[in-house]
Amino acid sequence: MRPATEALIVIDVQNDFCPGGALAVAGGDEIVPGINALMREFQTVVLTQDWHPANHLSFADNHPGAAPFSLTDMPYGKQVLWPAHCVQGSPGAAFHPGLATDPAQMVIRKGFRPEIDSYSAFFENDRTTPTGLDGYLKSRGVTTLTLVGLATDFCVAYSALDAAQLGFQATVRRDLCRAIDLNGSLASALDQMQHAGVGLG
């Protein structure tokens, strides 16, 4: 068992991000057994869950004439318009049925504000609205994070970059992540994480 100062953050292992889902990441379901095994090493486990209302402004459907994966301008900057996914209470928003959820002490739901998307486990995409995860981890004395889940180049990378900026020692287990790789997004994310001091395991 790892020391109590280390935590495992499991990012968005949900049906819509797995094969057959609305925003499927290739091989997204392959990482579930490895994540389940890794959970047993940690005293602190947190799951994150994308949790969008149906009218979320990051959905292409809510912008007439807009194509999925196109870009639009939001008050906080450029935003990818996604296919509708992880709608609150839907089967797609549920955790993958194979994921062990019992070991987790906290579930962080993000992206529930209709007007702002949220990739990071720590902040909404305006980079200032916190999820509360930072305070939770620090109040438990956690200083070191291991991040796994979906997708490497979006929610995992954003979470890892924020973790480093907030003073955590962060490592991304690439073998327990899968990427979307939208227009070179994976290479860009890996480069940013390396420059920020995030470990890539």
Q: Which residues are catalytic?
A: 12, 110, 155
Phi-psi region of 24 (alpha: psi -120 to 50; beta: other; left: phi over 0): beta
At position 6, the amino acid (one-letter code) is E
* CB-CB contact of 51 with 109 (8 Å): yes
Characterise 183 by phi-psi region: left (phi > 0), alpha (psi -120 to 50), beta (else).
left
Q: CA-CA distance, 199 to 201, in Å (whole number)?
A: 6
What residue ranges in 22-129 does DSSP mark as E strands? 44-50, 71-74, 77-80, 106-110
Q: Which two tokens stand for residue 69?
A: 């994966």
What stretches of the chain adopt beta strand conformation (E)? 6-11, 44-50, 71-74, 77-80, 106-110, 144-150, 169-178, 199-200
Distance CA 7, CA 45 (A): 6
